[in-house]
Amino acid sequence: MISMKDISLRCGVSVATVSKALNDHSDISEATKRMVRMTAQEMGYLPNSSARALKTNRTYNIGILFVDRAKNGLTHDYFAHVLDSFKVTAEAKGYDLTFINCNKTNQRMTYLEHSRYRGVDGVVIAYVDFDQDEVAELIRSEIPVVTVDHSFDNKPSVVSDNIGGIRDLVSYIASRGHKRIAYINGGDHSSVTRNRIGAFYKTMDELGIPVREEYMEDGDYRNPGLCCEVTKKLLALPEPPTCIMYPDDLSAIGGINAAKEMGLSIPGDVSIAGYDGIDVARYLEPKITTISQDTGRIGSIAAEKLIGMIEHPKTTLIDRTIVTGELLTGNSVAAI
């Protein structure tokens, strides 16, 4: 392995000068810095992470807490794109990523214990049961934390504008003449689901459209099978809805399958609307009316916030950044 001493011998300067050049100290010339850095690159020099950690008191390693109860893992379209954007931004700033979990070989660890075991500089909580005691323990710790799509009073967060997204979606559906609008929600108690349901009721009230409780159903995120069955239940009502909203686009595909199995056409007989704006929703026929969430900005902002907390803790603002999405009208909602 190439050392700073090897570089110093090649360049004809001291080891101290090499160290200063690689760490961009101001007391040596730019020409010397360029010479040392070019030589280091040519020789294949890589800084020792342990030595860098001792010097900077940072490991340049960020933990990712992502526990997908539906076991979709990184095939989960929304979070896969958020984490990919987070990864690109963090790596561009010199950080590596480590997934945090509760199990290390045969020894169970809490999220906090595993974070300390891995020596991470900070943690992004992307998807987890936020009501868990172990999550609260991590939030209360000294480790910098940024959350995605959930907010705590004492930690920065980045959230998609679920309230605005539902408002735009319901308003568009109503503008197409629909008054019998059903909503199959995510079926959990997360802040995302609660905000979406609240926004649905509020927007319907503002538009003067009564909410029919038989049209309000619990579904599940990314569960087309369950949403297919719930759709059949709604369409079997004496006065079925003219439009059904779903918790995500994959669930909306389940609704499309249900309508087709019942011999109905979309949007001729029933309209549907999804959420998320996943790629496949844009290529189906009919294209799904949906809200495209800006996963690129969500992931990038979360990385910038967390790295800011790590590198400049005294200037950190405990705030919540709301990232707006975009209505994609598609052609799955008919005008009536």
Q: What is the pLDDT of residues 218-271, one digit of tens each?
A: 999 999 999 999 999 999 999 999 999 999 999 999 999 999 999 999 999 999
The helix or strand, by DSSP H or E, that contains position 147, with its residue range, turns out to be strand 145-148
- Preceding peptide of 267 cis, ω within 30°: yes
Q: Is 54 exposed, middle or buried (0-12, 13-18, 19+ CB in 10 A)?
A: exposed
- pLDDT value at position 58? 82
Mean pLDDT score, 275-295: 93
- pLDDT value at position 73? 61
Amino acid at 42: E
Whole-angstrom distance, CA of residue 182 vs CA of residue 234: 8
- The more confident residue out of 28 and 274 is 274
Per-residue pLDDT tens digits for 66-118: 987 655 667 788 999 999 999 999 999 999 999 998 665 566 889 999 999 99
For 61-160+296-324, CATH gives 3.40.50.2300
pLDDT at 298 over 60: yes
- pLDDT value at position 329? 97
Whole-angstrom distance, CA of residue 275 vs CA of residue 329: 11
Mean pLDDT score, 40-50: 77
pLDDT at 1 over 90: no
Dig out the tokens for 335 from the structure. Answer: 């005008």
- What's the whole-number average pLDDT of the chain? 92
Domain ranges of the chain: 4-47, 61-160+296-324, 162-293
Select the CATH number that applies to the domain covering 162-293 from these four: 3.30.200.20, 3.90.1300.10, 3.30.479.30, 3.40.50.2300: 3.40.50.2300
4-47 and 61-160+296-324 in the same fold: no
Q: What number of other Cβ atoms are within 10 A of residue 257's Cβ?
A: 16
Mean pLDDT score, 8-36: 90
The helix or strand, by DSSP H or E, that contains position 249, with its residue range, turns out to be helix 249-261
Classified by CATH at the fold level, domain 4-47 comes out as 434 Repressor (Amino-terminal Domain) (1.10.260)
Residues in the chain: 336
- pLDDT value at position 103? 61
